Amino acid sequence: MTLTSDLLRGLNEQQHAAVTLPAQHALILAGAGSGKTRVLTTRIAWLIASAQVSPQGLLAVTFTNKAAREMLNRLSAMVAVNLKLMWVGTFHGLCNRMLRAHHRDAGLPASFQILDSQDQLAAIKRMLKAMQIDEDKVAPRNLMHFINACKESGQRAASVEAFDDYNRRFVELYSAYEVQCQREAVVDFAELLLRSYELLQRNQLLRDHYQLRFRHILVDEFQDTNALQYRWLKLLAGAGNAVFAVGDDDQSIYGFRGADVGNMMAFEREFRVDNLIKLEQNYRSAGHILDCANALIEQNNARLGKALWTDAGAGEPVRVQELVSDAGEAQWLVEQIKAIVRDGDRRSDVAVLYRSNAQSRVIEHALFSATIPYRVYGGLRFFERAEVKHALAYLRLIEQDDDDGAFLRVVNFPVRGIGARSLEQLQDLAKRRSCSLMAALAAGAESGLSTAALSRLRQFQQLIHGLRQATVMLPLADAVQKVIEQSGLAQHYSLEKEGQERLENLQELVNAAASFVSEDLPLAENLSPLAAFLSHASLEAGEHQALAGDDAVQMMTVHSAKGLEFQHVFITGLEEGLFPHENALSEARGLEEERRLMYVAITRARERLYLSFAQTRMLHGQTRYHIRSRFIEELPQAHLKWLSPRAQARWGPSSGEPYTLGGGLDSPGFGAGTGGDHLLSFERHAQAATAGVSLRIGQNVRHERFGDGVVVSLEGRGTDSRAQINFGRQGLKWLALSVAKLQLP
């Protein structure tokens, strides 16, 4: 048997066709779990083994260093060649290699240094300080995002159009940043690609050289390319090159990072691709799971189109569970995970996915309480997140202003112009007087601090004292909310381009405080509710998270789950406004990306898939009412197993046929089997009359124009009564009950 035939052994028909394509441009639509990596590496090995190209004549682009290493490891086992001769790596890695080889032509010294994201942010802060620009007026992180977005669209500062004074200021700072980086001989990640692109664009001889050298260009995860990456590839692809693009437009979920799913269709059109091969046989998931994924993604319009299938059998139906509350959802997760472990599977075979990081707090609390080891993949546990620790530091100072650790954490956050030298002087004084930093401010004149520095420190002291007075009589959740707002944390993060997630985590801290009080846990003697809550937060932030490699439940956002697979997958929080996220509901492109995100989540599961949603969820310390996600409605009922049959009857079929909503949150039997949720009381719900029928908060209703909804608030009496109803896609509506035509169960 020849080497080439040995390489091709075991490939299915479509994989074989892709690997053995002639030297022409090709687009491989590789569905989830279809053996994409195997096809890509086997293609490279086959080209070398069949003497169609030397290792030096190949360029392979991946999106992560991990993927590049995996590709090289597989190739080393397939062909006996010097892999160091090959150019295999990420866009940034390959551009760095090119710039090192041609640094003079690129206008760089041979020893130029690369700034990672943190280094770039520090460089921007240093520049702003040198220009005497207050960070409160120009947020360094926002400026960094602006600069990187310009570079990733191929624009230098001189070519960016300034639409207004605010934009003009950012363009001027972008120009100053370029000068600083050139002077210091440093380049950031976005600069690597832009400068490499400019080098190829203006240097015809160099462009010809690389076009002649790289006869075969292979690109992984093509759906994740941005505009500049695509343009860079087009410069390298000359008349005699063959570009082998592998990707899945249905898994394009990084639009917020600049990825353009339209690049796949543009590639097919602009490169006149005759070879479009669809890898649709899935080797990961059971049939019911794949059929749900296919039905969901078919709702998207802008796609190349494919349908996953498997010959491994239908497997078990997708389980769907409706819960009363987010706490009940978390408790239900715990019970299901315990059952999975009792059946003999490992905890590490279980993944809990959520759309937003803020959702992890309730789940973490339930797992911690049940002593189930867990690991937050690709992120920090809730109480370890910087914004949460900042808020807790303020709360610690309110409770005890002698807490020097909390003082140092937030004395200059948000920025108040208190420098490191001033803090060193204050620390020296505190050490001499054997007192806390806050107490040392009373004798601040002895510290040698300047009048301005001492004034700023005492303003911070007054802020803490003011917060203590403002919160002393407030319920715990309200106190936490006020601290977040009046400390400046909320405003600080609202100004950040990507601060929404941090704000959501801060609001989840308010929820944590409200839940802590509602649980009515026994407090230590003479311990205030705030002190008890801070102790609780410290305990949950302790070293109970499992280490990598331990047998532990895996927790992560759906974005972090891409590329991974698990035996059992739980997709939680499937409610309108949460998943799909409310920020995506206003435009079709945003909703389609959310649907692709759900598609990615579904296709992570091998054996069992669980979907859950809650009727109520804590938000801003208050209970809010939701309706289930449209994504559940888009799944075929034949492939679902409802664990709460009454909920299925109440919601009706997902085929879009008319159905009658029935039963409220406190209907007989509601929540059965949901970890105690059926005990939740709604005694405080209001009553309002409409056509002789009582409405109550949590009641399911149908409106002839707005569709299905849930009553979230009631006001007034008799003919003046009105109801606020969450109609999901149609939003929140206030309706006068004297005229509203509502169908009730």
Which of the following is catalytic: 4, 37, 299, 491? 37
Give the whole-angstrom CA distance, residue 119 versus residue 186: 10
Backbone dihedral angles phi then psi of residue 569, each to the nearest 5 degrees: -125, 130
Residues in the chain: 745
If residue 66 lies in a helix (H) or strand (E), which one and from where to where?
helix 65-78
Backbone dihedral angles phi then psi of residue 69, each to the nearest 5 degrees: -65, -40
- Name which of 305, 203, 287, 350 is nearest 638 in CA terms: 287
Q: Give strand pairing partners of 245.
A: 27, 219
Q: Give strand pairing partners of 708.
A: 702
Per DSSP bridges, beta strands 186-188 and 87-90 are unpaired
Kindly state the DSSP code that residue 272 receives in the 8-state scheme: T
Q: Residue 477 is encoded by which pair of tokens?
A: 């959740």
- Nearest-5° Cα angle at 167, 199 to 198: 5
What are the residues whose beta carbons fall under 8 Å from the beta carbon of 15, sequence distance 6 or more? 35, 38, 39, 42, 279
Label residue 563 exposed, middle or buried (CB < 10 Å: 0-12, 13-18, 19+).
middle
Q: Residue 443 is encoded by which pair of tokens?
A: 């004798």
Q: Residue 222 is encoded by which pair of tokens?
A: 């093509």
Query: Which 3 state secondary structure label does DSSP give 608?
Result: strand
Give the whole-angstrom CA distance, residue 591 versus residue 220: 25
Q: Are 352 and 319 in contact (CB under 8 A)?
A: no
- Name which of 230, 296, 298, 225 is nearest 255 in CA terms: 225
Which of the following is catalytic: 14, 36, 375, 628? 36
String of DSSP letters for 631-662:
HHHTS-GGGEEESSHHHHHHH--TTS------
Per DSSP bridges, beta strands 688-690 and 693-695 are antiparallel
Which of the following is catalytic: 135, 188, 220, 387? 220
Q: Residue written as tokens 């919601």?
A: 651
Q: Are 381 and 541 in contact (CB under 8 A)?
A: yes
In the annotation, is 198 catalytic?
A: no
Q: Residue 217 is encoded by which pair of tokens?
A: 């260009």
In the annotation, is 36 catalytic?
A: yes
Which of the following is catalytic: 604, 606, 608, 702? 604
Which of the following is catalytic: 188, 221, 224, 364? 221
Q: Residue 12 is encoded by which pair of tokens?
A: 């299915």
In the annotation, is 183 catalytic?
A: no
Give the whole-angstrom CA distance, residue 513 versus residue 507: 10
* Contacts made by residues 670-675, CB under 8 angstroms, sequence distance 24+: 670/324, 670/646, 671/323, 671/324, 671/328, 671/644, 672/644, 672/646, 673/643, 673/644, 674/321, 674/322, 674/323, 674/324, 674/328, 674/331, 674/332, 674/644, 675/323, 675/328, 675/331, 675/332, 675/334, 675/335
Give the whole-angstrom CA distance, residue 524 versus residue 531: 9
Which of the following is catalytic: 120, 225, 251, 699? 251
Per DSSP bridges, beta strands 707-715 and 700-703 are antiparallel
Q: Give strand pairing partners of 382.
A: none
Kindly state the DSSP code that residue 586 receives in the 8-state scheme: T
**Catalytic center residues:** 36-37, 220-221, 251, 604
